[in-house]
């Protein structure tokens, strides 16, 4: 009951205050300058619309080599062409499009393999892509995983693990997970993640979304602790609630409201966590949770080490990886590259 009351309070507070507070907090967020990010490689998932679109665009305009990782490859290529057309001929954007479908773990593995072949270091990974199937019944991916858990957590976490060797090649790197205030509504129920589990009495798509974001948050926190324990402190792990944003998360546009932020404003929060110089100063075990361009309040479950390790273990089990040995192998491969 206390957890539910806290979730309701955090949601009400955000809905009431975000438009007021963001009016001045956005002005203090990192403003990217031309050529500021020259030489940096950045992967942004879900970058053809919404927050991901504006995040990728700003990073590219600041000189970063941006990889648009998305399902709609043709659409992404047209977007990149449009961005280039917005500039004068004196500057060339470095935007690359690679196919990635988080609804398929094989697609994630193929993407990571293709990126690994490039041999490039990865400086920033922005896990932005996500889904909310509001009002829909319980559905499963081709991998037999509940769809919210698949896209928002399991596939995102797999991508992060597979790209770690590239991030370890960089002098410093950041993993930025676009999370959600909705994680306060989530629960940790790994037994319900897979097909064949007992049906939940009352499946709620909103609860499933919140649980997937909670699992994503807890896995990232566990990863940061693991990396620090292995003396790999060059990779910073940040989860960010971008605000309650007018979004294409729902195809029919139901996520609209006068108090909502527009996607470009939501992207400012993500950009701040991606490149802001102050972010490393507000971390514990190289991990931070941000909201409105400042450290935010996580749910009590996300702060529970025992539950975080349960999410870690179950996620790797679903992926067929060893919870104890896999990361050591990744570290070894990254260090020897």
Q: What is the mean pLDDT of residues 82-103?
A: 92
- Give the pLDDT confidence score for residue 17 in this predicted structure: 58
As a dihedral over the C-alpha atoms of residue 41, residue 242, residue 48, residue 258, rounded to 10 degrees, the angle is -150
Is the pLDDT reported for residue 170 higher than 80?
A: yes
- pLDDT bracket for residue 29 (50, 70, 90): low
Alpha-carbon distance of 77 to 93, in angstroms, equals: 12
Beta pairing, strands 287-291 & 294-295: antiparallel
Percent of the chain, pLDDT > 90? 68
* pLDDT at residue 15, rounded to an integer: 57
177 has pLDDT over 80: yes
* Nearest in space to 160 (alpha carbons), one of 227, 65, 228: 227
pLDDT value for 263? 87
Of the ranges 1-5, 78-82, 116-120, 258-262, which one carries the lowest mean pLDDT score? 1-5
* 52-61, 155-164, 204-213, 260-269: least confidently modelled range: 260-269
* Residue 186 and residue 217 in contact, taking contact as beta carbons nearer than 8 Å: no
Tokens coding 58: 């700003």
Neighbours of 1 (CB within 10 A): 5
209 has catalytic annotation? yes
Q: How many domains does the chain have?
A: 1
Over the stretch 93-141, which tens digit does the pLDDT of each residue have?
A: 999 999 999 999 999 999 999 999 999 999 999 999 999 998 899 999 9
Show the 3-state SS of 285-337: CCEEEEECCEECCCCCCCCCHHHHHHHHHHHHHHCCCCCCCHHHHHHHHHHHC
The pLDDT confidence band at residue 217, using thresholds 50, 70 and 90, is very high
In tens, the pLDDT along 230-268 reads 999 999 999 999 987 776 555 554 555 555 788 888 899
What is residue 171's predicted lDDT score, i.e. its pLDDT? 94
The first and second tokens of residue 210, run together, are: 């919140």
pLDDT for res 16? 57
Provide, rounded to the nearest whole percent, the portion of the chain with pLDDT above 70.
Answer: 84
* Domain around 215: 2-336
Record the tokens describing residue 66, joined without a space.
């941006």
Higher pLDDT among residues 6 and 320, named by residue:
320
What pLDDT is attached to residue 256?
55
Tokens of 274: 């991606």
pLDDT at 108: 98
Collapsing DSSP to helix, strand or coil, 47 comes out as coil
CATH of residue 73's domain is 3.40.50.720
pLDDT of residue 247: 64
Transcribe 76-124 into DSSP letters: HHHHHHHHHHTS-TT---EEEEEE--TT-HHHHHHHHHHHHHHT----E
Give the model's pLDDT for residue 30.
53
Sheet holding 94-99, edge to edge: 94-99, 65-70, 41-45, 124-127, 173-178, 235-241, 287-291, 294-295
* pLDDT for residue 293: 87
pLDDT value for 10: 60
Beta-bridge partners for 43:
67, 125
Which one is catalytic: 209, 289, 290, 326?
Answer: 209
Phi, psi for residue 247 in degrees, rounded to 5: -140, 155
């Amino acid at each position: 009951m206390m957890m539910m009351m806290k979730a309701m309070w955090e949601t009400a507070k955000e809905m009431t205050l975000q438009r007021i507070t963001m009016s001045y907090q956005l002005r203090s967020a990192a403003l990217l300058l031309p050529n500021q990010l020259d030489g940096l490689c950045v992967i942004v998932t879900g970058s053809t619309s919404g927050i991901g679109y504006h995040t990728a665009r700003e990073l590219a305009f600041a000189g970063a080599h941006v990889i648009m990782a998305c399902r709609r490859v043709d659409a992404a290529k047209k977007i990149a062409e449009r961005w280039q057309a917005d500039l004068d001929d004196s500057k060339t954007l470095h935007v690359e499009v690679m196919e990635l479908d988080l609804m398929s773990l094989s697609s994630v593995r193929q993407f990571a393999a293709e990126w690994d072949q490039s041999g490039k270091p990865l400086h920033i990974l922005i896990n932005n892509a996500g889904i909310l199937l509001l009002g829909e019944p319980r559905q499963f991916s081709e991998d037999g995983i509940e769809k919210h858990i698949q896209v928002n957590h399991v596939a995102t976490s797999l991508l992060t693990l597979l790209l770690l060797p590239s991030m370890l090649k960089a002098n410093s790197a950041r993993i930025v997970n676009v999370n959600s205030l909705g994680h306060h509504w989530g629960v940790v129920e790994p037994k319900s993640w897979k097909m064949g589990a007992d049906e939940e009495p009352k499946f709620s798509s909103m609860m499933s979304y919140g649980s997937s974001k909670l699992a994503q948050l807890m896995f990232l926190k566990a990863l940061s602790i693991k990396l620090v324990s292995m003396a790999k402190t060059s990779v910073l792990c940040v989860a960010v609630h971008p605000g309650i944003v007018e979004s294409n998360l729902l195809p029919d546009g139901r996520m609209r409201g006068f108090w909502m932020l527009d996607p470009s404003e939501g992207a400012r929060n993500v950009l701040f966590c991606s490149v802001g110089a102050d972010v490393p100063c507000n971390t514990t075990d190289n991990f931070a949770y941000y909201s409105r361009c400042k450290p935010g309040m996580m749910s009590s479950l996300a702060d529970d080490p025992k539950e975080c390790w349960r999410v870690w273990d179950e996620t790797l089990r679903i992926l067929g990886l060893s919870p104890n040995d896999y990361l050591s192998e990744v570290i070894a491969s990254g260090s020897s590259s």
